[in-house]
Every structure is written in structure tokens, then in C-alpha cells.
Chain A
Amino acid sequence: GENVEQHPSTLSVQEGDSAVIKCTYSDSASNYFPWYKQELGKGPQLIIDIRSNVGEKKDQRIAVTLNKTAKHFSLHITETQPEDSAVYFCAARTGNQFYFGTGTSLTVIP
């Protein structure tokens, strides 16, 4: 089956700096890659996604890039703000299966 690895597990950045979270996957048949943000006491929230026929997608301060050859995709957050502090999960869909990464706890220091 698919194996989704996520790095780093924790990340601290100064407010205003950029944050990058990376995920790798093993199955070349994976074709959909969403990212979720989970705030304390809440459920994961879908924040951005990318399909395998696209290399990059941007939505205001967040962007996701996909490298199908290397089988990795990344979440980029620019001009970080304290409210970006949360746990971020990547995920991958392969056929009828869906796999979450292990999560990255992001702390934005004011």
C-alpha cells in the first residue's frame, strides 16, 4: 500500500517568516494530495489540495507544490502569523484508499 511520510514533526518560525512542510509518497498511482490544518480541540480542516496533473497551486499565503518524479509534495506558508500555529497533515489518495501523514506541529512565535 501507499506510505506517506511527513517532515518535520515540529517546526518553529518567527512571525513573518516562511514555513515549509514536506511529504513523500511511495505509490506513483497516487493522484490527489490535500493538506489539512488542525487547531487545538478542533477537527482537521482542508486548506488546500493539488491533483497530479498540476505542479503548483496557490491560495493567498499558502501554496502547495508537487514533484511527481520525486514523489514529494510540499506546503508553503508565507508571511506566517500566530494564527497559523496548528498541526498540519498531508494526505494522498491512491485509488480507493486515502492515507494521512503523521502531522507537523507548527508554532509561529510572535
Chain B
Amino acid sequence: DAGVIQSPRHEVTEMGQEVTLRCKPISGHNSLFWYRQTMMRGLELLIYFNNNVPIDDSGMPEDRFSAKMPNASFSTLKIQPSEPRDSAVYFCASSRTGGVQPQHFGDGTRLSIL
């Protein structure tokens, strides 16, 4: 397996700009998770999908954040407009089990909003 693939690995942009993070889960995995990691708050679950359907989006900070999973092999996390406090490492993870526990993480996107 190629593992969970995230792009871009790094993103630097100015506040107010739209940011789109992308994720390709492991083939055959039916759960997909978006996490955010910061020093202050640790690992935070933003949203997770099961069979392409959003199950729990209670961790999405506010309306500026949106996530989609149009098919089993692709998901996006969009921030519009971006703010400096959104700076963090964003991880995508997938799981074969269909439960709430992530099994395999991607290597993350390091996002810096200036």
C-alpha cells in the first residue's frame, strides 16, 4: 500500500486566501479523518467520514472550514478565508474498520497563514 497521501506537504499563504488541502486514503479503507495538530491543543479531530458520508463534524472550528469526500479515494479540507490562527499541521488518516479510531495517518500538511 502507498499509505495515506496528503498534498501539499507545506503551504504558506496570506490571511484571507482560500486554502485547499487534499487527501488520498489507503485503498479499501472506508473511514477518513481530518485532524489538526498544534503545540497548544495537541491532536484535534475536525471531521470524519464513513463510506464517504460525514459522520461527526463537531470539531470543525467554524463556517470557514469545510470538508468533502466526493468518492472513496479523495477528500478535501478547505479554509476560506484563512486566518493566522489556522496555522497548524493538518493530518488526514484512514481506517479499514469503519470505527472512530484512525489506523493510518498521512505525513500531514504544514500550513502557515501570514
Q: Which residues of A contact B (CB under 8 A)?
A: 32, 34, 36, 41-46, 89, 91, 93, 96-98, 100, 102-103
Contact = CB atoms under 8 A, between A and B. Distances in A.
Given A43-B91, A103-B42, 7 more contacts: A43-B107, A93-B99, A98-B100, A98-B101, A98-B102, A100-B42, A102-B42
Contacts of B42: 100, 102-103
A3 B43 CA distance: 14
Nearest to B105: A43
23 contacts: A34-B101, A36-B105, A41-B107, A42-B107, A42-B108, A43-B4, A43-B91, A43-B93, A43-B106, A43-B107, A43-B108, A44-B43, A44-B102, A44-B105, A46-B103, A46-B104, A93-B99, A93-B100, A96-B100, A97-B100, A98-B100, A98-B101, A100-B42
Q: Which 10 A-B pairs have the closest CB atoms?
A: A43-B105, A98-B100, A100-B43, A44-B105, A43-B91, A43-B107, A42-B107, A43-B106, A98-B101, A43-B108
Interface in B51-75: 56
Contacts of B99: 93
SS class, residues of chain A in contact with chain B: strand
Interface in B81-114: 91, 93, 99-108
Contacts of B91: 43-44
A45 B105 contact: yes
A46 B104 CA distance: 7
A96 B106 CA distance: 22
B19 interface: no
B44 to A, nearest CB: 9
B3 to A, nearest CB: 9
A69 B100 CA distance: 24
Contacts of B103: 46
B101 A89 contact: no
